[in-house]
Structure 1
Amino acid sequence: MTNGKTDKFGNVDDAGGSTASTGSGRSEQIQLPNRDGTLRTHTPRAHPLPVTPGTPFTSRTVYSAAHVVADPYADTTPDSPAAVDWDATLAFRRHLWSHGLGVAEAMDTAQRGMGLDWAGAAELIRRSSAEAKAVGGLIACGVGTDQLPVTEIGYPYGLDEVRAAYEEQLALVEESGSRAILMASRALAAVAKGPEDYLEVYGHLLRQAAEPVILHWLGPMFDPALEGYWGSIDLDAATSTFLEVIAAHPDKVDGIKVSLLDAEREIDLRRKLPDGVRCYTGDDFNYPELIAGDDQGFSHALLGIFDPLGPLAAEAVRVLDTGDTDGFRQLLDPTVELSRHLFQPPTRFYKTGVVLLAWLAGHQSHFAMVGGLQSARSLPHLARAYELADGLGLFPDPALARTRMKNLLSLYGVNQ
């Protein structure tokens, strides 16, 4: 028996200051921290959800925005350029392609503007585009203006410089052989004086695009710097400008990606699109109903949550391909709780949960992120993400996931 004290995590501090678990015989269980500092017991499932790789889909076009894998051995600081483990990063894209999913590359899920600078994004685009060509995978790549750095006085640029930055990135994506996704620009949001500036910049880019592009409207919940995009904080006015851009160049717009977390607004918007222009949902809260659609149409998908959900999401869409909407919803609806958890405010830090789940699933050997963003979520948040993902059967090897989660918990002082 020890004379030490027991802390709130159930650890005993002996006279020498070391800790030891008070539990025994619980190797198949794991103690997870609650927000109030208490522990709960979770019994991991024994087997993963059975899913198999398959061919691309027939009823929907589906992209997964993919994360990057950091190089954990690189001697970096939060201010230095990202160090990427290219082998692991490309292997994860092959994993997504093997299940029939497309890859949306160099988007915010890849920490674009949150640890990955333009030089790193350019290299990512080149490498992933070449890999997609080699394996026959569907890919689209993000085009932005992040080579224009924010300064102490903000964005001291004019529209010409913003447009030129977009053009440089668009040229690289087109040279790589990938479809372009015109992303929302922090610089444009800062320097545009009104809707007319958005119409001018986007009109110029669409006129010169070699192939139809995907337009991306990312809401401020994902990036606060994009508040008032399209020239107004009034979403109805912003939507009118967005639709005006599309209406002027329908032959140059493959589709739109909407990330506003507002299902009704997305449905209303997709019903107003010209024929032939797709709506790709980016709504990580309401994606099952938006992809399933209604008697007036449906959304395709370009989603960050399909990074951890890849195989399960692919299985669900293949069921939808058969016309079985109920079966599709039965598979995908239970995933919404996990998605809403990962994307809870501050939403822009959802990437931390995505990378955690990739590590627990065995897609990478560590839980480290470019820019040190593995620290952006609390331990109770990460524990709940593990618990929800395990309940869905997302981990190919549940025992590996349990062991890795226990190792992470121990680093925070939560011994089992």
Structure 2
Amino acid sequence: MALTIRLPRADRTLETYELAPARGFPARTDRPLARVAYAAAHMVADPLAEGDPWLTPAIDWDRTIAFREHLWDLGLGVAEAMDTAQRGMGLDWPTSLELIRRSLSAAKARGTQNGKGAVVACGAGTDHLPPENARTIDDVIRAYEEQIEAIEALDGRIILMASRALARVAKGPDDYARVYGRILSQVKQPVILHWLGDMFDPALAGYWGTADLDAAMDTALGIIGDFAPKVDGIKISLLDKEKEIVMRRRLPAGVRMYTGDDFNYAELIAGDGELHSDALLGIFDAIAPAAAAALAELADGNEAGFHDILAPTVPLSRHIFKAPTRFYKTGVVFMAYLNGHQDHFTMVGGQESTRSTQHLAELFRLADKAGLLTDPERAASRMAAVLAVRGL
């Protein structure tokens, strides 16, 4: 008998939607993956914690770390305490550092399995320094140094996150060169730089000292060129594939381009036959089994199989990351709820309320069409529960 659910349509009527069978992607893999691939992982809130959700982050640590184990089982690296984990939108620096500590500890406890370790890279920024309290470039440098020192003390690898405070106080490209030059000259291991566009965070408008993306790229490339041995790669999250392609052609040898383009990741990862992008993506949290399966097919030389798996996920990702893009975390957590990685749809800061009922219903349809609902019956039951709370 077909599995169906009543879903709202844009015209405010309800439709009887028939679910497709799951594609049955493996929950773990020992196959090699074609690219370096990080999933920027979400955090799981504790829905029973006492406190005010808008003010105090309450984390379900067991479920949060269990989700990282799920990503490692699939051969994916974890990009920890990034914007997907609600960094700057509910997750403060002390809690971020505790998340990093626990994640690194869990990775170390796994040791090496099948010749592969659990890879973690950790977000270091300046978010403990409120932008309005930043007065000088030296304030920004000290804030970066404080977080980097704390992460390096845990033997963590660094993702150097964009800084709202720097965007506020910098007078031009030279100030960015000064900050990044100082930080890169000190780091213990090569870092991943993160260029996060203002569609993800409006406070980062004009990053690298200009609103002109080509000029901004020149500044970033100049910094990378000066400190190439200290740069593993750069993740750009501009949702502009042409800018990414241009930039990856200009990177120094040995410096990776990590795509953060949640609209065009499939073609950017596949590459143009000469150059390709590696991956550091929030959407890989939501589609991890499909992403791992696709990258394994690509490693086998089966590009058609790669696209067969990944192409149907792109409409879902474009929906989750649609404007206002900064609210994409809601869709990522909703996918984790539908697929049984957590038993509730509660987020730190009440962020589960940032997307409409219509948005969540369309997300459900697109996830089903991509074969991403691991247990369609459970997913339908959970979707129905959320709809009931929202009056349907």
After superposing the two structures, state which structure 1 stretch, 176-185 or 192-201, moved more. 176-185
CA offsets 1:103-155 (integer angstroms, 9 cap, x no match): 000000000000001111011011101111112311101010000124xxx34
What residue is the counterpart of 2:389 in the other structure? Answer: 411
Match of 1:212 among 190, 196, 206: 190
Residues 371-395 of structure 1: CA distance to partner in whole angstroms, max 9, x if unpaired? 0000000000001111111222222
Select between 289-298 and 55-64 the one with higher mean Cα deviation. Answer: 55-64
**Candidates 118, 133, 140, aligned match of 2:121:** 140
- Residue 64 of structure 2 is matched in structure 1 by 89
1:61 to 32, 36, 42: 36
Does residue 288 of the first structure (1) align with residue 266 of the second (2)?
A: yes
Question: Could you say which residue in structure 1 is the equivalent of 2:87?
Answer: 112
The structure that has the greater radius of gyration is: 1
| 1:171-204 deviation per Cα after TM superposition (whole angstroms, max 9, x unaligned) | 1222222210000000000000110000000000
Aligned residues: 386
Query: 1:224 and 1:273 mapped to 2: Cα distance?
Result: 26
C-alpha distance in 1 between matches for 2:39 and 2:330: 16
- Show the 5 A alignment for 1:71-90: 71-90=46-65
One-letter amino acid of the structure 2 residue matched with residue 143 of structure 1: A
Deviation digits for residues 70-118 of structure 1, max 9, x if unmatched? 0101123244220000000000000000000000000000000000011
Q: Following TM superposition, by how much is the alpha carbon of 1:244 offset from its aligned partner in structure 2, in angstroms?
A: 0.5
Farther off after superposition, 84-93 or 288-297: 288-297
Deviation (angstroms), 1:27: 8.7
1:168-317 alignment, distance < 5 Å: 168-317=146-295
Residue 44 of structure 1 aligns with which residue? 19
Correspondence for 1:20: none
Distance 1:73 1:413 in 2: 23
Partner of 2:78: 103
For residues 59 and 176 of structure 1, the distance between their equivalents in structure 2, rounded to whole angstroms, comes to 29
| 2:317 corresponds to which of 299, 317, 339 | 339
Per-residue CA distance 1:269-306 (angstroms, 9 max, x = gap): 00100000000000000001000001321000000000
Give, in whole Å, the separation in 1 of the partners of 2:78 and 2:350. Answer: 24
Q: CA deviation at 1:56?
A: 6.5
SS in 2 for 1:236: helix
Deviations 1:9-48 (A, max 9, x none): xxxxxxxxxxxxxxxxx99311111223111221122444
Does the Cα contact within 8 Å between 1:105 and 1:142 map onto a contact in 2? Answer: yes
> TM-score normalised to the size of structure 1?
0.90
Whole-Å Cα distance in 2 between the matches of residues 211 and 55 of structure 1?
A: 27
**Distance verdict in 2 for CA 1:258–1:56, change over 3 Å:** farther
Whether the 8 Å contact between 1:45 and 1:390 is mirrored in structure 2 is yes
- CA-based RMSD of the aligned residues comes to 1.4
State whether residues 32 and 296 of structure 2, in contact with CA within 8 Å, keep that contact through their aligned partners in structure 1. Answer: yes
- Report the residue type matching 1:353 in the other structure: G
What amino acid maps onto 1:92 in structure 2? F
Q: How does 1:121-160 map to 2 (within 5 A)?
A: 121-135=96-110, 136-150=117-131, 154-160=132-138
Taking a change above 3 Å as real, the CA distance of residues 334 and 126 of structure 1, as seen in their structure-2 partners, is: same
Question: In 2, distance between residues paired with 1:267 and 1:380?
Answer: 34
Q: Which amino acid aligns with 1:74?
A: A
> Structure 1 residue 354: deviation in Å?
0.6
Residues 327-380 of structure 1, C-alpha deviations (whole Å, 9 max, x = no match): 111111111100000000000000001101100100001000000000000000
Q: Distance in 2 between matches of 1:338 and 1:238?
A: 30
Name the SS of the counterpart of 2:285 in structure 1.
Answer: coil
Hey, what's the Cα distance between the residues in 2 that align with 1:56 and 1:250?
31
Contact 2:266 2:307 in 1 (8 A): yes
Give the partner amino acid of 1:183. Answer: M
Q: TM-score, normalised by structure 2?
A: 0.96
Aligned to 2:114: none
Partner of residue 8, structure 2: 33
Q: Alpha carbons of 1:29 and 1:128: their partners in 2 closer, same or farther (altered >3 Å)?
A: same
* Deviating 4+ runs (over 2 angstroms): 45-52, 55-59, 75-79, 154-157
Paired amino acid for 1:43: E
Structure 1 gap segments, 5+ residues each: 1-25
Report if aligned partners of 1:195, 1:241 keep a CA contact under 8 Å in 2.
yes
> Which residue identity lines up with residue 168 of structure 2 in the other structure?
A
Equivalent residue, structure 2, for 1:348: 326
